[in-house]
Amino acid sequence: MRRYNARTKKVQPDDLKDPYMSAIEYKDMDVCRVCRNIYHNKRWVKDNDLFERLMKKPEKVSYTVCPSCRKIETHYFEGIVELKGDFLFEHKDEILNLIKNTEKRADYINPLYRIGDIEIDEKDKTIRLATTSADLAQRIGKNIEKAYEGVLGLSFSDDNKLVRVHWER
């Protein structure tokens, strides 16, 4: 089992929404050893300039693993997207590009919004992907529906921790 260099913190009622956000108390300027995101001013940021400045004195850098990388590592996903249909595979490359661009835009807003797994099943004409946030899964589904029409369905778990997005055309 992996150990993380961080203290655990008391769980607040708001923290129950995302257990990975609440489990560890991060220090300012902690660097994720997997994705190089930096915990700064009480949020995770992607800042290459700041990272380069920190790397000038690597002995002073405190490494950890960010919540998003921990979710991917443990396969804890908050969004499942399933895309189906003949149309999907006729436009597979375009749709995969749209998915990647949606992830890049979301990453700019919050670097913890990521795609963890992508499964392409040529036989069943299905693409399944898992996201670290419900918001990113919804954005992907809505962007595909906006660009290509089709039928979009969203279903949420009882506690709203998981969203399933289904699109077909």
Confidence band, pLDDT 50/70/90 cuts, at residue 159 = confident
pLDDT exceeds cutoff 60 at 52 = yes
Give the burial class of 81: count Cβ atoms within 10 A of its Cβ; 0-12 exposed, 13-18 middle, 19 or more buried.
buried
Mean pLDDT value across residues 12-22: 58
Instruction: Return the amino acid letter for 152.
Output: L
pLDDT digits (tens, 9 = 90+) for 62-76: 999 999 999 999 999
Confidence at residue 135, expressed as pLDDT on a 0 to 100 scale: 93
What is the Cα 117 distance to its own chain's centre? 10
pLDDT exceeds cutoff 80 at 9 = no
What is the Cα 124 distance to its own chain's centre? 25
pLDDT exceeds cutoff 60 at 156 = yes
How is residue 151 written in tokens?
């039928």
Q: Whole-prediction pTM value?
A: 0.83
Task: Measure the CA angle with vertex 141, ends 139 and 142; round to 5°.
Answer: 65
Confidence at residue 23, expressed as pLDDT on a 0 to 100 scale: 64
**Biggest distance spanned by C-alpha atoms of the chain:** 54
Confidence at residue 17, expressed as pLDDT on a 0 to 100 scale: 64
